[in-house]
Structure formats: C-alpha cells, structure tokens
C-alpha cells in the first residue's frame, strides 16, 4: 500500500499504486451521501471496514476470473444466506439462488467418473483444466485482501473449503491437496499483483452500486485500464519535456 485516497462519499480507501484507480474513482457519481451509506450498513449489521473488505474480496474473484478468460454473470456485496458476498459465472445465478453450485455438489457428480490410479487421464483433462482455473479464482478473494489491506484475508474460509473439495477429485493425500491449493493461491497472487489498481477501483464501485453485472464489470475494468494508460502517457510526456528543458539549460550554460 502506498497511499490513501478518498471515494465520492469521503471514506478513506487503501490504494495500491494509486494513480490510475484514483483518477477513475474521482469521477464516480455515487448517487447517495454518507448518511444513506451508513443507514445501509446499519440495516445489514455490517461495519464499514467489513463492507470494504467484502468488496475487495469479491473484486479479486471477478478480476481474476476475467484474467483467466472466464465470463462473469455478476458480483454482489449484498449478503446471501450462505455468504457475505458472491461472484458467479454466466448462467450460474439461478443455481446459487437455489442453494446449488457448491464445490461439494460438483465433486459428488464427478467423483465416480474420475480415473483410478494407473488409468488414462486424457478423458478428464478438460475437467482438470476447469477445476484448476476455478481453484485459482477461489483463492483470488483472500489474495486481493492481502494485497490491498496488508493482512491475511479473513473472508475466505468457504473459498478454501471449496478449493479443497475440488482438489480431492485429483489429489490422493492431504499433502497433495495442501500443495495444490497453495499453488493456486500463488498463481492468483501472480495474476492479480499487476492489477491492484483495477481490483481497488472495481471494489469501490461495487461497494457503491452493491451489485454489478458481467457487462458492467468488463466496462469498469476497461475504463480503469484506459485511464491508467492515459496517466502513464502523461507521465512519459512530462518526463520527456523535463529532459528537453534540462538539455536546453545545459546547452545555454
């Protein structure tokens, strides 16, 4: 973390890198003031710090999914029956609403079809690829918390449980499960680290809007990337101009 910026509501928010995301956050029209936000949190029984953490967590899931090329149905920081927030894939919203779609459900369906030790695995290579990708997404929430809050994510107990459930489709020992999950955590960190500004900006908008569709998420990511590129270009031109001024002074001395 390098600085604090203020959102449209006046609340401080930790920044990673800062400039590109700050430029995006500054133009957000929240549509309601701090009083309305405080009332919302009171109705949810949630403190600001918890709400900001949930938004960062879910934004981490969302950005990681898009980096992996996985389409999104949406994301929310409104609490559900089983979680503080939720990020879901295209076509999965109905399953989640009905209490389906948990990793344990997936494991139960696929377990019988998985090859035994010594059997050919080519027939399930696509299953492994999907499980691997999804486990990286599951780990991304806590990774985002650690990146932006400087502490171990506290909201990922269920993510870890689900990753372990999926890992058991392939891993035959506790050590193998732990190694696989840790690898997915490191992969998520490596993917998200260059995109801290994007995660931060998306989390701020998510905290304000409460729920975002997949299309809205893509637009926010695109806008932040464009603004970051613009800031970088302005810096490059300012640096070049300063070099020209320094060179002119040197020639005239």
Q: Report pLDDT digits (tens) over 134-158.
A: 999 999 999 999 999 987 656 678 8
Can you read off the two tokens belonging to residue 81?
A: 């029956």
**Dist. CA 253–CA 244, nearest whole Å:** 14
Sequence-distant (6+) residues with CB within 8 A of 196 are: 16, 17, 21, 147, 148
Q: Which residues pair with 88 in a beta bridge?
A: 74
Domain count, the chain: 1
| pLDDT band for position 62 (cuts 50, 70, 90) | very high
> Can you give the CATH number for the domain in which 173 is found?
1.20.58.760
**CB atoms closer than 10 angstroms to residue 168:** 18
**Nearest Cα residue to 217 out of 94, 81, 55:** 55
Can you give the residue range of the structural domain that contains 33? 3-252
β-pairing verdict for 3-6 and 12-15: antiparallel
Burial class (CB in 10 A: 0-12, 13-18, 19+), 83: middle
pTM for the whole structure: 0.76
> Rounded mean pLDDT of 203-220?
94
């Amino acid at each position: 973390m390098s600085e604090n910026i203020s959102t449209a509501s006046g609340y401080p928010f930790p920044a990673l890198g800062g400039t590109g995301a700050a430029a995006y956050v500054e133009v957000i029209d929240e549509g309601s003031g701090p009083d309305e936000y405080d009332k919302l949190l009171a109705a949810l029984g949630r403190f600001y710090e918890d709400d900001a953490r949930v938004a960062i967590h879910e934004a981490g899931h969302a950005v990681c999914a898009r980096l992996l090329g996985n389409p999104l149905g949406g994301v929310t920081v409104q609490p559900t029956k089983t979680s503080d927030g939720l990020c879901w894939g295209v076509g999965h919203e109905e399953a989640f609403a009905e209490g389906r779609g948990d990793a344990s459900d997936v494991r139960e369906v696929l377990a019988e079809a998985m090859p035994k030790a010594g059997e050919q695995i080519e027939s399930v290579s696509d299953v492994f690829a999907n499980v691997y990708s999804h486990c990286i997404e599951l780990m991304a929430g806590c990774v985002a918390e650690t990146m932006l809050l400087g502490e171990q994510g506290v909201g990922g107990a269920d993510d870890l449980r689900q990753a372990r459930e999926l890992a058991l489709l392939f891993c035959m020992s506790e050590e193998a499960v732990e190694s696989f999950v840790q690898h997915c955590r490191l992969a998520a960190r490596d993917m998200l680290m260059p995109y801290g500004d994007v995660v931060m900006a998306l989390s701020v908008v998510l905290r304000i809007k409460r729920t975002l569709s997949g299309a809205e998420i893509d637009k926010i990511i695109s806008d932040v990337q464009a603004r970051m590129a613009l800031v970088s270009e302005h810096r490059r031109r300012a640096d070049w101009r300063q070099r020209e001024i320094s060179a002119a002074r040197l020639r005239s001395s």
